[in-house]
Chain A
Amino acid sequence: MLRQVRSLVPFLAGLGLLAGCRFADPEATTTWLFDPATPIAEAVRQNFWYTASLVAPFLILAEALLIYVIFRFRARPERKPASFHENVKLEIFWTLVPAVTLVMIAVPSFQLLRQITHVPADTELEVQVFGHQFFWRYEYPEYGITLSDEPLVLPANKKVALSFSSVDVIHSWWVPAFGFKQDANPGRVATRWVQVKPGYYKGQCAELCGALHGVMWIEVVALPEEAFRQWVLARKRGEAPSIEELRAMLPNPAIAHQEG
């Protein structure tokens, strides 16, 4: 059994390596955990590691005790089982310590939550996001621009309010690098905000919405101020730059999603 447990070590190491392979792929989806693109995603990333650092000791302690028990207390002819079956102090201890830890997780979590749900007053643009079976439509009321089944184009480093709704079933708008997802409910409007680093981001619908839910992709290009103004003008002239043209407008298209 010892050997069988030891065999898990290379197994887990292999998993880590495979997850690592993903970073070799420049076109891979960028995520909140490894390449956060908004202040919220950055805060969520920090909160993840903070939570993990509080949870991990319990995980390691519990699994380590379990493994220790398995090897230490194996039945042998000369050993007699212990007869204890209660220890109130110990029980109070292992009720209170996790409780205190949970408070330590909850307090920063709740503070961050307010930051996420509270849309700041100084947003510079509003984009309305509508879910359709099976594509997204984006409306820019300020410019009179409508993007249907096209990449969303945002001004980089500017606070933008995104409002989410749906014209048919429930969808969920999710770009992992932005650090949140928001359901697009028919008959309701929910507002969130982003402030995106320049770059190209991928995501997809995250709420089962019918047959083609799995290919209801999202693409976002966050253009620097000047490029964004150019795009608005081009769009008003009736031009529709392709995703390649949009990405070419990024400061460093090859590693655009890693740019700060």
Chain B
Amino acid sequence: MAQTIQQPMTFYSRWPKPLAVIADWLTTTDHKKIGIMYLVYSLLMAIVGGAMAGMIRTQLAVPDNTFLRPELYNEILTLHGTIMIFFVAMPALAGFGNYLVPILIGARDMAFPRLNAFSFWLLVPSGILMLASLFVEGGAAAAGWTSYTPLASKQYMATPGVDMWIFSLHLAGLSSILGAVNFIVTTLNMRAPGMRMMEMPLFVWAWFVTATLILVAIPVLSGALTMLLTDRLLGTNFFKISEGGDPLLWQHLFWFFGHPEVYIVILPSFGIISHVLAAFAHKRIFGYPGMVIAIAAIGIVGYLVWAHHMFTTGLSTLSLLLFSAFSMVIAIPTGVKVWSWLATVWGGTIRFTTPMKFALGFVALFILGGMGGIFLANVPLDLSLHDTYFVVGHFHYVFAGGTVVALLAATYFWFPKMTGRFLSEKLGTWVFWLFFLGVLLSFMVMHFLGILGMPRRVYTYRPEFTTLNQLVTAGYGLQLIAGLLLLFDILRTLLRKPARPLPPDPWGVNEVQKTLDWVTASPPPPYNFERTPTPDQWRHAPSAEVAR
């Protein structure tokens, strides 16, 4: 099938092969190649961010450790958080989104292919700026990924590293905004003729809602960053108390972006999990309309909860009540998703492939992470748990146990589609158990540490916390081995020529799943489909709907 569509002629078509290939990747506007570049970018950054986590866990392996200076420790924890969110989670999800959304809706490409390439390439200077800030005089930003003022102000953190951090996030934010516009227009305008919104696969719905979140939330971050930047460089007074500014303004603006950001990195993961669970349970998604409503509800209510990150700042009692109530409300649609996933696999014939293991592991860890959220939404408890390791454990269950596990499921699930080869199932089982147990251990113990009185973002701790901290570090070790095994497997698989081409549906799941990613070739040809997909290729037979 791939051969029937001609590659267009380009200026480098007559160049020698390796040069032409490089020129092709550098100039491509093909959503699949851009998607793969996002994923490679994310993987490289995950190595950096993961190494930083390793430095943090090494420092905390014993109390009063001198492995990192206190200043450097704060720089590393700031960059670890920033990199994992902006340069690992978001690009990886954007990568799968870029690759899959046009295919899943039967389109030839994104709505704006060049804008798509621009979105990706913006991330390159952005990432370089972020990493380079570690090496400037004065060091990188060291006020945490939240960069609260006045700590992040010129007065208390004079280093140009903070300015580089701001510029870097400006570029990453612009990249996300342009990407979001692209996703929204693509989803609204590029669906194959006859595909209704309520027929779109859940991954497309999840990305659609995510894109609207990005479009509203990121500009607020960009505005706040600009205010911080002009405070630092031009002498404005947005956050300076002595001049009538207010540091709490920064917190409100930051979290107005920051909480939707949490859903930006978890909603597409929800979509991934829905696909994988249904595929290997050999069943249709349970309660599709409810799932769509839940995604939308999480997106909308997600805007009304930002101040639950600020319960200890001294908000009025009324604000505390309202933000607490809205935060608890989030648990309802989230619960709908969990129950629907359980009902999706219920009664199925489950094949325990590696992606399915990760998807089931996601549900297990996400339930734990979600339950911790109820405690934090409860203000009297949050006043004790806020800014402790309980919070660190909670959001790592949702980020590492949620988003990263979903990304691993997606990697194993769509790797054959993208490359025409399977990753090793045998190694995959190891990767799964090591990573799953590592996450379970590290972040469970963090919850205990928080309850027992250890605050977050500290470079040392009282001796009584030693054993528990060593358990966290041991859990990191398990995750590290899992990551290295995955990296090894990816490289090994890519370097080996596939024995024979894979069929369009290499997992044999499309009979029930009926999504267009399993209709086109593996890997798909340029422009994805030889003929525009027709409704019979994605629409479930009406008979299946009455069989209850």
Binding site for B on A (CB under 8 A): 1, 4, 8, 11, 15, 18-19, 21-22, 25, 27-29, 31-33, 43-44, 47-48, 51-52, 55, 58-59, 62-63, 65-66, 69-70, 73-76, 79-87, 90-91, 94-95, 98-99, 102, 105-106, 109-110, 112-114, 116-118, 133, 164, 168-170, 172, 174, 176, 179-183, 185-188, 190, 202-215
Contact = CB atoms under 8 A, between A and B. Distances in A.
Nearest to B241: A187
A58 B548 contact: no
A69 B545 CA distance: 23
Given A170-B151, A209-B151, A214-B459, A190 B314 contact: yes
A112 to B, nearest CB: 5
Interface string B267-285: 0000000000000011111
Contacts of A183: 312-314
B215 to A, nearest CB: 28
Given A95-B332, A210-B156, A186 B367 contact: no
Nearest to B246: A187
Interface in B126-172: 142-144, 148, 150-151, 156
Interface stretch (B220-228, B464-472, B499-507): B464-472
6 contacts: A65-B346, A85-B284, A116-B380, A182-B312, A202-B462, A210-B142
Contacts, number: 275
B238 interface: no
Contacts of B74: 208, 210-211, 213
Most interface-central of B148, B440, B444 (chain A CB within 10 A): B148
A105 B374 contact: yes
Nearest to B386: A181
A91 B335 CA distance: 10
Interface residues of B, number: 98
Interface string B172-190: 0000000000000000000
B342 A70 contact: no
Given A76-B349, A95-B336, A106-B324, A65 B451 contact: no
B281 A81 contact: yes
B300 interface: no
B294 to A, nearest CB: 9
B360 to A, nearest CB: 6
* Main secondary structure on B side of the interface with A: helix
Contacts of A185: 247-248, 313-314
Nearest to B328: A102
A73 B348 contact: yes
A106 B461 contact: no
Contacts of A182: 312, 314, 383
A118 B320 CA distance: 13
B328 A105 contact: yes
B110 interface: no
Contacts of A203: 453
B141 to A, nearest CB: 12
Contact of A83 (B143, B384, B547): B547
Nearest to B77: A208
Contacts of B433: 4
Contacts of B339: 62, 91, 94
Contact of B383 (A44, A63, A99, A188): A44
Given A19-B468, A65-B346, A183-B314, 12 more contacts: A8-B440, A15-B448, A29-B464, A51-B375, A55-B374, A58-B335, A83-B544, A86-B287, A91-B290, A95-B336, A181-B383, A182-B383
Contacts of B284: 83, 85
A94 B548 CA distance: 19
